[in-house]
Structure 1
């Protein structure tokens, strides 16, 4: 039989086309293998830097109310319940608080879940007991609160989690619903479509899709959602390459970290790690069966199955997933019934981060830019652990927003900075009256004259430069005429236009007298003052004019905090930092705040003497209103007011914090607020919620309390009414020194017989 020529032509043409397709496909696969493999291995996704506040450590003996601890737990999305068998729950019974702490990768390493009993007595934690073994604990560390994130340009948010921390129940359920044959195909499964069709017909609704998990992953990572034959071919080829080059667990882990779960404003929530926190306030390893089913149900379409907008629709699909879990022996009958009877419960807020602290986060970003990070840190993500104290920050924001009660001042602005001077960290920072307004951060960038805040620096410098200069040293409050920077006569004045004559340095600082400060400052030397300010962390320009002795130097509230933190910290200078440590999302260390060699820029003796005088400012001087507000709690402080009442300053030092407050206007208008009437009340209101720790006034080595003449500073008997008790190096009392600081002449008879 003779073959037909047209049939031979068709066969040959088909073979040629087939061969061409094979060759083109081979080259195409080679190209994909060369490019896609590298991209998938190193740039699968970009993970943000997640920023955390300081963790809360509860210690036995801490002065804290039970209600305060409950507030902390609720902020961390712990739920109140009669049972604390599961992590993330707490219960209350009288003065007993039972807490089941979640597992968390802290900066210093991972900590497993822990169940403890806190017992309170008279506003203190009386004991912390491990449950159920009954061990007495010194402390329990709660996980820190997420306060922000620093995203890549894609605005995709995710918390990378390893496959080992994802519950087996979630893994098995995902494979059951989305790709039952995941471990047995090569990335593309032509039979999956038929299998999915059969499952959907059996269920009476769509419960499975035709694409494999690998295809879904490729589509999410690299392709658009358009439904074309070319896109499906491209998707299939890419899936084959990825499945060939990477093991199944890597692909599955990538899927869990990439799958999309909805929007938090302009931030896309990707991955089960962040989704579990976004919807339930829990970590993925804590999820219950109903919560696992809900997240797997949402994979099909997080917008269509939004639990906040369509709870009934979501519950229907969740229950379908639960039924599949039960039918495939992933859940026992009792667990299935309990899960299916559970109402849909998700966090009410659509914001992953409840509290926004833009002023503090601005400082975090500035510090992050100065830290050498791995160039590819977005591949592993970062966890940034800061020193932010949530309670202190909230209180600082509230105080700043309230301004000065009873005083309506147009365009009044301000800043408040709280530092822990022992650790050298910033625990709160507010850069304006509106704490949520992103813009000019006055705490960092506002350079304002500091006025009388310069006085402790002057006396500190004087006592450092001269061994004979002490708090009892004599100075006069009398008129002085100088030449200003324009060569004109300058006669500085006291705020009350009066002159008190003879006095000690102690009283000169306590009552903020200008003229003694000018005299001592000029005696020390302007260049020496500038050098001391530099040592204490001032980096902005300082003009070498005599007016520096009255505070004619511009500093930011943050710089002021650095200076006074040095005085508070026994003369040790530390740059105030926000970042304590940085790890990857899976807990590997990246950076730890280096504890620099202790750099003494003041002697402990001089720092103590300055603090002691500043404590006098609070107890009886220009800041005595603060002392009256907190009787029995020693604190130090200094008010500051500039010319024409344009700037109101106050700095306080307690046993833990330096608090710096500034008030003024951006256009430098008069506010008629002094340091005592403006900034000081703000600090006082801050301390009403964040209780001050007592400041120790016990003399350091080499100093003892002695009696000195109030005006002349001479050592006099302790019984004298005009004596003032001051710390000083042991000073001998002259023989026969009377209360007027005069040595009485003895008669020849007294010299002969004594008496």
Structure 2
């Protein structure tokens, strides 16, 4: 019996040894596999980072036409706090007619700039008088505020993060995180039995969960690679993977990865990961600016981002934050005074926005399209992008509010839609774009994709080509405004008419343009030649097909509001075409430059003289023509513009430009039904309200040397003496004026003495 027992024991022993050996081999092979896979994934595929999109940085300099109220509104948009005394970045102080502000550190496209305090002095309507460095009072030529954050373009995993290096994270945040989540982080090997025991005792003493037993490394493994299933297999896998990562990578690498990966809740449909994006989402700050109360709240949220959501459940979030502050004080991480001040601070400063998916949907769509056309690293989502655009938040908000408000005012049609595009023609940048009467509604982007006939908007380009032949045409050249018949497609007879169904006979070219007469534009267009007109329009940015029929002279050409803005930016830029773009520069999240837009190459579409003369005519549109409502509101000779109305009142257009911006407004229905509005009764009002908000940048018009201001007869267009009461003063190439020309435009009768000699 004893031998039999011994045999059974030996059998069981060796079987167990074999199974144990097999288990060791399996675990070893699995560990080798995990080691290889984890090392590669952790090194190259930890997470994906989004493209963070920024607006233009407001430039403050002497002479800038910015009011104190405008700059203060920009500071509030950047979440600066008004204070009684400047002590830290992100603060400002208003003192009479000046603003003192403390700019935050910011990574601009051309490199990082440190926090800096300045004083900006204003001189009423003249804008900024001086910019002084504080505290030394040194005068500065230029000072940039940080670029306002607009939103994010995410990858396919709907995870958002702003990557930050460990060197940018405040020591207080790191120390508090380790205090709450993993006190032995720098001493264990990825798994800590003592941490599990300590957490159990702390939770028992507090009669609630205040600490977790998993190490930061285990939490990171779970977030990156595992599910949240509470099973022994998952926990064992987690521990083994934590040991491998801790062995292969440094503690600082693991900690930095954790800080960029940890989950903080949702912003719309996107998950917020990492302390960098969380600090921006909850407080509107960069992570290096966080204060004790804000650090405590972020670490409180880690425990349960939904349960401790400070906006949805402020009471429970504050209780946990205050508990963490108490622990920070008890461990001498903050002083008693700091602890008491932190307890009184509000939970969050930055209102919940959902900017990742809702606001500026059409502009961000345009940015996303442009990014696909740039030569960026294929794996850019490993390091993320910071995209700097031309968008001006002031202009964007004005465009959104004006379009929505004026559509309601001019029409009760619920199907009436619209679009607005604003460009900075000096920089060839798109500063605002609205593609729907409800600006935050994603979907069809009418500013970019609505291809509509332009009507009279085409006329300035006809006049521009004609005025390049000064021997034949100038602003005083008489143009016939009488019936004309032309052969259209399939030899059908086309008889164009004027808007008022009348004909004025002969009129000056300037008046025909300023009054937007149809028949003179048709005659002029046929004279210069339709192929020439088509070629110039294509050179100025039109990429859609253009049919070279006579009706083209009255705008039988369909383009988008964005293309119209490019066309008129060419006129505003002295006849030079430069493609408009939304993206100005791109860096990664660490500030390394990936793309900087070069000075846009320009080519001359119209001669500078012709562009100057056309702009003079477009000033006439605002002064006395279809845009005279703008002239009455803002003054004469400060704006140039053009209205456009298509057949049966299906489209209402208005374009206006000043010394810096071009504003295009379009109203119409998606089903192309009549809307009963002309350019002046519809789209003009949208433009007018935008200008009332953005203000007007004076046009610095310098008359070309080949032109001079001269007097012309108002009917015949011949040069007459300047002292004639009815003389029309117009810029033109020098005209030969005989001594005997009378104010009536006829030669004076010569005396008998002059007839003899």
Match of 2:261 in 1: 258
> Of the candidates 582, 585, 588, which is equivalent to residue 586 of structure 2?
582
Greater Cα offset, 667-676 or 382-391: 667-676
Aligned to 1:373: 376
SS in 1 for 2:740: coil
Instruction: Verify the 8 A CA contact 2:308 2:317 in the aligned structure 1.
Output: yes
In structure 2, the partner of 1:601 is 605
The answer to whether structure 1 residue 307 and structure 2 residue 304 are counterparts is no
Deviation string, structure 1 residues 190-211 (Cα, Å, up to 9, x no partner): 3332233344445554333221
Give the number of equivalent residue pairs.
Answer: 753
The whole-number CA distance in structure 1 between the counterparts of 2:358 and 2:104 is: 21
**How far 1:549 moved relative to its partner?**
1.2
How far is the alpha carbon of 1:23 from its aligned partner?
1.4
What residue number does 2:67 align with?
Answer: 65
Q: Which moved more, 1:617-626 or 1:60-69?
A: 60-69
Higher deviation after alignment, 298-307 or 385-394: 298-307
Instruction: Choose 597-606 or 153-162, whichever is displaced more.
Output: 597-606
Distance 1:477 1:633, change over 3 A: closer
Mapped partners of 2:715, 2:17: distance in 1: 113
Distance 2:324 2:700 in 1: 63
Aligned pairs for 1:417-496 (under 5 A) are 417-464=421-468, 467-496=471-500
**Among 209, 233, 237, which residue is 2:236 paired with?**
233
For the structure 1 residues 297 and 121, does the alpha-carbon distance in structure 2 shift closer, same or farther, using more than 3 Å as the test? Answer: same
Report the alpha carbon displacement of residue 396 of structure 1 after superposing the two structures with TM. Answer: 0.9
Residue 216 of structure 1: SS of its match in structure 2? helix
| Alpha-carbon distance, 1:465 to partner | 5.3
> Does the 8 Å CA contact 1:633/1:694 hold for their aligned counterparts?
no
Q: 1:47 to 1:637 in 2, by over 3 A?
A: same
Contact 2:623 2:637 in 1 (8 A): no
Determine the C-alpha separation between the residues in 2 that align with 1:517 and 1:73: 49
Deviations 1:605-658 (A, max 9, x none): 111111011111111222211111111551111111222222211111111111
SS in 1 for 2:574: coil
* Separation (CA, whole Å) in 1 of partners of 2:723 and 2:31: 99
Q: Which residue in the other structure is 1:383 paired with?
A: 386
1:273 maps to which residue?
Answer: 276
Of stretches 732-741 and 149-158 in structure 1, the one that deviates more from structure 2 is: 732-741
2:326 pairs with one of 319, 323, 328: 323
Cα displacement (A) at 1:265: 2.4
Matched, 1:132 2:114: no
Asked whether the equivalents of residues 152 and 355 of structure 2 are also in contact (C-alpha less than 8 Å), the reply is no
Find the counterpart in structure 2 of residue 714 from structure 1. 718
8 Å CA contact retained: 1:647, 1:674: yes
CA distance in 2, matches of 1:747, 1:125: 63
| Among 730, 735, 738, the residue aligned to 1:726 | 730
Partner of 1:25: 27
1:51 corresponds in structure 2 to 53
Pairwise CA RMSD: 2.1
Contact (CA 8 Å) 2:418, 2:667: kept in 1 or not?
yes
Task: State the 1:430 CA deviation.
Answer: 1.3
* Corresponding position of 1:570: 574
Counterpart of 2:352?
Answer: 349
Contact kept in structure 1, 2:410 and 2:682, CA below 8 Å: no
| Structure 1 pair 355–73 and aligned structure 2 pair: CA distance change class (3 A) | farther
Contact 2:259 2:274 in 1 (8 A): yes
Give the one of 164, 167, 174 matched to 2:167: 164
Give the C-alpha shift of residue 559 in structure 1. 1.1
Question: Which of these residues, 75, 82, 90, is aligned with residue 80 of structure 1?
Answer: 82
Say whether the 8 Å CA contact 2:462–2:521 is kept in structure 1: yes
Contact 2:428–2:600 (CA under 8 A) maintained in structure 1 = no
Contact residue 147 and residue 354 of structure 1 kept, 8 A: no
Aligned partners of 1:183 and 1:248 also within 8 Å: yes
Write out per-residue CA displacement over residues 538-572 of structure 1, whole angstroms, 9 at most, x where no aligned residue.
11111111111111111211111111110110111
Unaligned runs of 5+ residues in structure 2 are: none
Note the alpha carbon deviations across 1:579-610, whole angstroms, 9 max, x for none. 11111111111112232332112221111111
Bigger mean CA offset, 22-31 vs 526-535: 22-31
- Are the counterparts in 2 of residues 77 and 88 from structure 1 also a CA contact under 8 Å? yes
Query: Is 1:532 the counterpart of 2:536 in the alignment?
Result: yes
Deviation of 1:330 after TM superposition, in Å, equals 2.1
Looking at structure 1, the residues matched to 173 and 413 of structure 2 have their Cα atoms a distance apart, in angstroms, of: 58
Q: Distance in 1 between matches of 2:115 and 2:19?
A: 63
Distance 1:46 1:101 in 2: 30
Instruction: Decide whether the 8 Å contact of 1:307 with 1:346 is kept in 2.
Output: no
Cα distance in structure 1, aligned partners of 2:578 and 2:439: 26
- Establish whether residue 183 from structure 1 lines up as the match of residue 208 from structure 2: no
User: Shift of residue 505 of structure 1?
Assistant: 1.3
Tell me the CA shift for residue 528 of structure 1. 0.8
Tell me the secondary structure at the aligned position of residue 486 of structure 1.
Answer: helix
- d(CA) in 2 for partners of 1:513, 1:46: 58
Residue number in structure 2 paired with 1:112? 114
CA deviations on 1:718-744 (whole Å, 9 max, x unpaired) are 112332111112223123122233333
| Cα shift at 1:261 | 0.9
The one-character-per-residue Cα deviations of 1:111-160 (angstroms, maximum 9, x if unpaired) are 11112222333243332222222222233322222222111121111111
3-state DSSP of counterpart to 2:401: helix
Secondary structure, aligned partner of 1:393? helix
CA distance in 2, matches of 1:416, 1:320: 51
Cα distance in 2 for residues equivalent to 1:125 and 1:102: 21
Q: CA contact under 8 A between 2:269 and 2:357: conserved in structure 1?
A: no
2:617 matched to which residue of 1?
Answer: 613
SS in 1 for 2:66: coil
Secondary structure in 2 aligned to 1:651?
A: strand
Distance 2:423 2:388 in 1: 16
Question: Displacement of 1:466 after TM fit?
Answer: 6.0
User: Does 2:396 align with 1:393?
Assistant: yes
